């Protein structure tokens, strides 16, 4: 048995929770902020049998890994050079920090 | 030394915290939601000497384990068949998910 | 790799987070209350290489350890004996409870 502690972005948490649920895995969501990722993150506790650990890591990778997204700015700011207005900009989103801990005992009461 | 991470229902958390306190044990309450239990749960961190671990598990069992409760509906809903109005209904409450982790070091500063 | 779980007073959390950042360490802040310390505490998750663990413990000690502070009461309460009015009073602040856990796996996605 392992306890996976995953710190992910708030925006990625619903997709992660849904994908875990589809794999028959339950998770507990802790309110968290700052640090490992930019403000507004979520910390998930996921209990998992050793045999399913690779699957959990793959699910986190699929739903949360750092990736770039092209954003086309809608409202140009005053200081934006005219040439830049409306140009798509690449921004980084997502990312996850994952701790896997050995569980000495697990009980469901 | 062990770290007990207990996810319990909000409704059971005060009784659990009180019982732990009476046993001389301190706990830290983390705000948490969803997953292991229905919405509105609480995650407790409980540091405990190996010798007291069984007692902690018994306290969690006593205050939080899944149990049924008879509820007599007060306000019948429009669709409730008349024969059901006022009949006691068995609902499940409580439940706890407990992870016990080995602690490499413990410090009180 | 170690996971340090530090429960500290809310008032000490910003200094701790800042000092950890200056040491190149990231932390995730969980909302928490009660138990190990008086109401209003913060639980920090800090991932750290074994080689930096002593430094993390020293930083927590420096920013959070229990210490006394002299407080000169400004507004005397009705029942305060006159001789006591304006006398500095020693109060205890700070304190930290620190769990160090072994990490089986650590991933940054
Ligand atoms: Ni195991
Ligand atoms: Ni031990
Ligand atoms: Ni290690």
Residue of B7, B28, B2, B26 whose CA lies nearest to A29: B7
pLDDT (0 to 100) of residue A37: 45
Q: What's the mean pLDDT when you consider all of chain A?
A: 85
φ, ψ at C42 (rounded to 5°): -125, 140
Q: Among A31-40, A50-59, B18-27, B54-63, which is the least confidently predicted range?
A: A31-40
For the record, the structure tokens of C61 come out as 């000690």
Decide if C83 is inside a domain.
no
Kindly list the residues from chain B whose CB atom is less than 8 angstroms away from the CB atom of residue C47: none
Over 70: is that where the pLDDT of B85 sits?
no
B47 occurs within a structural domain: yes
Q: What is the number of domains present in chain B?
A: 1
Residues of A with CB under 8 A from a CB of B: 3, 17, 26-31, 44-45, 47, 101-109
Q: Average pLDDT in the C92-101 region?
A: 92
- The answer to whether residue A106 scores a pLDDT higher than 60 is yes
> Is B33 a domain residue?
yes
Q: Do B99 and A108 touch (CB under 8 A)?
A: no
Please state, in angstroms and rounded to a whole number, the distance separating the CA atoms of residues A57 and A88.
32
Q: Mean of the pLDDT values across residues A19-47?
A: 81
B16 domain residue, yes or no: yes
Interface of C with A (CB under 8 A): 3, 17, 26-31, 44-45, 47, 101-109
User: How far, in Å, CA of A53 to CA of C69, rounded?
Assistant: 48
Residue of higher predicted confidence among C105 and B75: C105
* B42 belongs to a structural domain: yes
Rounded to a whole number of angstroms, the distance from the CA of C34 to the nearest CA of chain B is: 6
The sign of the CA dihedral C53, C54, C56, C60 is: positive
Average per-residue pLDDT in chain C?
A: 86
Q: Please tell me the total number of residues recorded for chain B in this structure.
A: 109
d(CA A1, CA C43): 24
Does some domain include residue B68? Answer: yes
Which one is predicted more confidently, C33 or B40? B40
Give distance in angstroms: CA of A1 to centre of ligand 1.
Answer: 3
The band of B72, judged by pLDDT with boundaries at 50, 70 and 90, is: confident
**Neighbouring chains to C with at least 3 Cβ pairs closer than 8 Å:** A, B
pLDDT of residue A14: 92
Full DSSP string of B36-83:
SSSSSEEEEEEEE-GGGHHHHHHHHHHHHS-EEEEE--SS--TTS-GG
Question: Are residues B31 and A27, on separate chains, in Cβ contact within 8 Å?
Answer: no
Asked if residue B78 is part of any domain, the answer here is no
Number of H helices and number of E strands within chain B? 2, 7
Judge whether residue C82 has pLDDT over 90: no
Tell me what the mean pLDDT of segment B53-59 comes to: 97
ipTM of the complex: 0.81
Residue C30's domain comprises 2-70+88-102
Do C85 and C73 form a contact (C-beta atoms < 8 A)?
yes
In a domain, B30, yes or no: yes
Other beta carbons within 10 angstroms of residue C32's beta carbon come to 25
pLDDT digits (tens, 9 = 90+) for C37-79: 455 788 999 999 999 999 999 999 999 988 888 887 765 555 6
Spatial contact of A11 and A42, defined as CB atoms under 8 Å apart: no
Helix (H, G, I), strand (E, B) or coil at C88: coil
Q: What is the pLDDT of residue B37?
A: 46
Chain B residues whose beta carbon lies within 8 Å of the beta carbon of residue C98: 105-109
What is the domain-level CATH number for residue C94? 3.30.70.120
């Amino acid at each position: 048995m392992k306890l996976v502690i995953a710190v992910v972005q708030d925006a990625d948490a619903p997709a992660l929770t849904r994908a875990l649920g589809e794999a028959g895995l339950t998770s507990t969501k802790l309110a968290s902020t700052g640090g490992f990722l930019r403000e507004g993150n979520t910390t998930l506790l996921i209990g998992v049998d050793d045999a399913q650990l690779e699957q959990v890591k793959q699910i986190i990778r699929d739903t949360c890994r750092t990736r770039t997204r092209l954003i086309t700015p809608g409202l140009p700011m005053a200081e934006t050079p005219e040439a830049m207005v409306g140009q798509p900009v690449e921004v980084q989103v997502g990312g996850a920090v994952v701790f896997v801990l050995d569980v000495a005992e697990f009980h469901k009461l």
